[in-house]
């Protein structure tokens, strides 16, 4: 699938993010095995971490995912409108006031943690005449959103009193990617206490879930009835140092960010390039221009932390400041292996493999002191997502 920017005008610029839907399906299977019998919820919020929510959702379901999860009501509605009608879609936070009618009308599964939200949903159910089962979110220590453990029974009772179903009860782990951190065990113990309190009150907690990717892969006690996997679905480790293979959960890379050389020139020693003229050539060198920049999601700071790209199977440093739409690459002195025959139209890989070289999102993230999540989410809407493989690929 390839979307067009203006009507039927094709994407003329050769910059694209190629998303491998077969790898999504592979990763779902791998995570399903790792989750040991728990249901798999594919987290496709933020346009599937920048990979294209509709295509990824379809591929994840085809690969065996049982649920989808999104951050926003709007994201859930978009999936329904794209024709994903039969799969349950969990909205991971409590819907904002005023959105209950859209939640119910689109058959989304809302998260709740306040009595007021429960009552607004009940009112929407009354007007639309559709059922609604909610999931109760318990704050066991992340302290982002959720009902305090002491309030959880109260909110669950309100769900029943309002005539809604309690379809599930869940929590979210703050440090599951830090394997030896005892806090995860403390959160899970607090969660167990809440589940006990609900049951003691005669309330069935429904589908119980706590694990994100790191929880799924590295914390068996977190798996419960369902796991909510995001980053690992995209073939990326939850932490740069978490060896998913060692945990029996091999993952395949999904996204490849690529472009093509748009301009080539040879410049003399001591020439300086790009804004600010901060990059000075030590020797006569071949410079290639690539039509991708910070407006596409290549962080401007990447050039000052040793960022490189792959051309002709070789790593070449980004030269000088990354600009909004373009960046420069130092291919070395004329006649050198990387520079010898660099030409306009040559493939450039920013994220992914070429020959025996690979640059992953974690390489950028580590250099930039961030996480791979931010890198893929940061690839902007200007970059077309080209989905290959899968039922609907090609």
Ligand X SMILES: *Cc1c(COP(=O)(O)O)cnc(C)c1O
* Residues tagged active-site: 45, 275
Tokens of 370: 């961030």
Of 103 and 310, CB closest to ligand X: 103
Q: Is 244 in the site for ligand X (CB under 6 A)?
A: no
Closest approach of ligand X to the CB of residue 71, in Å: 7
Q: Is 230 in the site for ligand X (CB under 6 A)?
A: yes
Write out the binding residues for ligand X, residues 112-171 only, by CB under 6 A.
Answer: none
Q: Would you say 251 and 242 are in contact if contact means Cβ atoms under 8 Å apart? A: no
Q: Which of 228, 256, 260, 314 binds ligand X (CB under 6 A)?
A: 228
- The stretch among 9-17, 19-27, 148-156, 224-232 that binds ligand X (CB under 6 A) is 224-232
Write out the binding residues for ligand X, residues 8-47 only, by CB under 6 A.
Answer: 43, 45
Q: Would you say 40 and 31 are in contact if contact means Cβ atoms under 8 Å apart? A: yes
Give the contact letters, 191-220, x = binds to ligand X (CB under 6 A), - = no.
---------------------xx-------
d(CA 219, CA 211): 8
d(CA 310, CA 357): 7
Write out the binding residues for ligand X, residues 43-72 only, by CB under 6 A.
Answer: 43, 45
Q: Is 238 in the site for ligand X (CB under 6 A)?
A: yes
d(CA 230, CA 140): 20
The footprint of ligand X on this chain (CB under 6 A) covers a number of residues equal to: 12
Of 51 and 172, CB closest to ligand X: 172
The whole-angstrom distance between residue 229's C-alpha and the CA centroid of its chain comes to 9
Write out the binding residues for ligand X, residues 80-109 only, by CB under 6 A.
Answer: 92
Adjacent-strand bridge partners of 333? none
Closest approach of ligand X to the CB of residue 48, in Å: 11
In the chain, DSSP assigns E strands to 16-20, 39-43, 67-70, 89-91, 109-112, 133-137, 165-170, 207-211, 226-229, 255-260, 263-267, 272-273, 279-280, 285-290, 308-311, 314-317, 327-330, 347-354, 357-359, 385-388
- The stretch among 28-36, 230-238, 275-283, 303-311 that binds ligand X (CB under 6 A) is 230-238
Q: Which of 172, 223, 260, 385 binds ligand X (CB under 6 A)?
A: 172
Q: Would you say 218 and 175 are in contact if contact means Cβ atoms under 8 Å apart? A: no
* Residues within the interface to ligand X (CB under 6 A): 43, 45, 92, 172, 212-213, 228-232, 238
């Amino acid at each position: 699938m390839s979307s067009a920017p203006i009507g039927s005008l094709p994407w003329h610029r050769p910059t694209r993010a190629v998303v491998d839907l077969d790898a999504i399906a592979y990763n779902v299977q791998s995570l399903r095995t790792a989750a040991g019998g728990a249901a798999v919820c594919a987290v496709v919020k933020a346009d599937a971490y920048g990979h294209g929510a509709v295509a990824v959702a379809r591929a994840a379901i085809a690969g065996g995912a049982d649920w989808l999860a999104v951050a926003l009501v709007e994201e859930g509605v978009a999936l329904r409108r794209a024709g994903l009608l039969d799969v349950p879609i969990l909205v991971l936070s409590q819907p904002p006031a005023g959105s209950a009618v859209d939640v119910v009308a689109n058959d989304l599964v809302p998260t709740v943690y306040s009595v007021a939200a429960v009552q607004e949903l009940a009112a929407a159910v009354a007007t639309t005449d559709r059922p609604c089962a909610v999931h109760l979110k318990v704050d066991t220590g992340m302290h982002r959103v959720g009902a305090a453990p002491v309030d959880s029974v109260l909110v669950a009772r309100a769900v029943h009193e309002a005539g809604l179903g309690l379809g599930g009860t869940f929590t979210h782990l703050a440090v599951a990617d830090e394997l030896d951190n005892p806090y995860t065990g403390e959160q899970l113990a607090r969660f167990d206490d809440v589940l006990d309190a609900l049951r003691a009150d005669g309330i069935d907690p429904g589908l119980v879930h706590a694990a994100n990717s790191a929880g799924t892969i590295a914390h068996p006690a977190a798996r419960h009835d369902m796991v909510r996997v995001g980053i690992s679905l995209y073939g990326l480790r939850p932490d740069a140092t978490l060896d998913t293979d060692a945990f029996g959960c091999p993952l395949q890379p999904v996204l490849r960010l690529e472009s093509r050389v748009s301009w080539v020139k040879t410049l003399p020693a001591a020439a300086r390039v790009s804004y600010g003229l901060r990059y000075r050539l030590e020797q006569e060198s071949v410079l290639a221009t690539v039509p991708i920049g910070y407006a596409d999601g290549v962080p401007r700071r990447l050039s000052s932390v040793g960022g490189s790209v792959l051309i002709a199977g070789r790593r070449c440093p980004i030269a000088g400041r990354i600009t909004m739409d373009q960046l420069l690459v130092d291919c070395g002195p004329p006649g050198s292996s990387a520079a010898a025959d660099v030409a306009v139209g040559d493939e450039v890989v920013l994220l992914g493999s070429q020959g025996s070289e690979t640059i992953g999102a974690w390489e950028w993230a580590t250099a930039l002191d961030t996480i791979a999540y931010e890198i893929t989410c940061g690839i902007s809407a200007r970059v077309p997502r080209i989905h290959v493989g899968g039922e609907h690929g090609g």
